[in-house]
Amino acid sequence: MDENCIFCKIIKKEIPGSIVYENDYVCAFKDLHPVAPVHILVVPKKHIVSLEDVSEENLEYVAKIQLAFREIAKITGVSQNGYRVICNCGEDGGQEVKHLHYHFLAGKKLGAKIVHD
Ligand code: 5GP
Ligand code: ZN
């Protein structure tokens, strides 16, 4: 964990983050500035900076995120209607927070174009 990282602080519950789902590997909490009726950030409970830092060593954390999406869909009641997952990576990808995170968006018919500005 990185003590200066805002998402690590949310994971450790040092600051309030309205967590909607968590397990040993994954934490999911509401985005502070939602762009859809359901906008949840899904993060590994390990300080991985971005997709560029995924490795065999931390792969378990990232793999568990893939399973968490279904759980989050169930919890938010959107399994049937569907959802979109986005991961911004690095400068050109528009990544602002340097802790790997996936945007889970749902609750309306999302436009054909992306999405998170
Ligand atoms: P990025 O642009 O890095 O892919 O997305 C970062 C996201 O984190 C943004 O959608 C922003 O609204 C959200 N965010 C930034 N700071 C906080 C925070 O302190 N708490 C929560 N819940 N979301 C945050
Ligand atoms: Zn972190």
64-82: per-residue pLDDT in tens?
999 999 999 999 999 999 9
pLDDT in tens, 94-109: 999 999 999 999 999 9
Could you tell me if the CB of 59 is within 6 A of ligand 1? no
Total of domains in the chain = 1
Cα 109 to Cα 12, 37, 42, 61, 90: the distances in Å are 33, 10, 20, 30, 27
Position 35 in a domain? yes
pLDDT of residue 114: 58
- Catalytic entry in 47, 99, 101, 103: 101
CATH number, position 74: 3.30.428.10
Supply 94's token pair. Answer: 């528009």
Position 82 in a domain? yes
Distance 5 CA to ligand 2 centre (A): 5
Position 96 in a domain? yes
Position 78 in a domain? yes
Q: Which ligand is nearest to the CA of 5?
A: 2
Distance 32 CA to ligand 1 centre (A): 6
Cα 91 to Cα 19, 22, 72, 73, 98: the distances in Å are 27, 28, 28, 29, 10
**101 is annotated as an active-site residue:** yes
Position 16 in a domain? yes
pLDDT of residue 65: 98
Position 10 in a domain? yes
pLDDT in tens, 51-66: 999 999 999 999 999 9
Position 117 in a domain? no
Could you tell me if the CB of 32 is within 6 A of ligand 1? yes
Position 116 in a domain? no
The residue range of the domain holding 17 is: 6-106
